Amino acid sequence: MRTQDIKIGEYYKHVNYPNSGYAKVLKILRPIPEFRKKYNYYLTEEEKNVKQVVVKCMWMIGKDDKFYMIKYFRPCNLIMEITKWINKYYI
């Protein structure tokens, strides 16, 4: 999936594990130049050291789960849910 197609707050699936969990997008992170890293106080160290475009996601088993993990995925590894994809392109 392209970066400009990803919407913050939407649920997506992972390409390799389409039946196992959901990824809710929190933030899209892009690489930061070296001279701007020390002035970005609102970013964590992981977010400052990004080498390529990544998507920060909440990874959970069900959509309504209260337990989740924070994971970073590349945009090309996320896919839209099949029902949303059908509604978008065929209806």
For position 86, what pLDDT does the model report?
67
Domain segments of the chain as ranges: 3-90
Mean residue pLDDT of the chain comes to: 87
Q: Per residue in 12-37, pLDDT tens? A: 999 988 888 899 999 999 998 887 77
DSSP assignment of the chain equals: --GGG--TT-EEEESS-TTT-EEEEEEEE----HHHHTT-TTS-HHHHT--S-EEEEEEESSTT-S--EEEEE-GGGEE--HHHHHHHHH-
For position 28, what pLDDT does the model report?
94
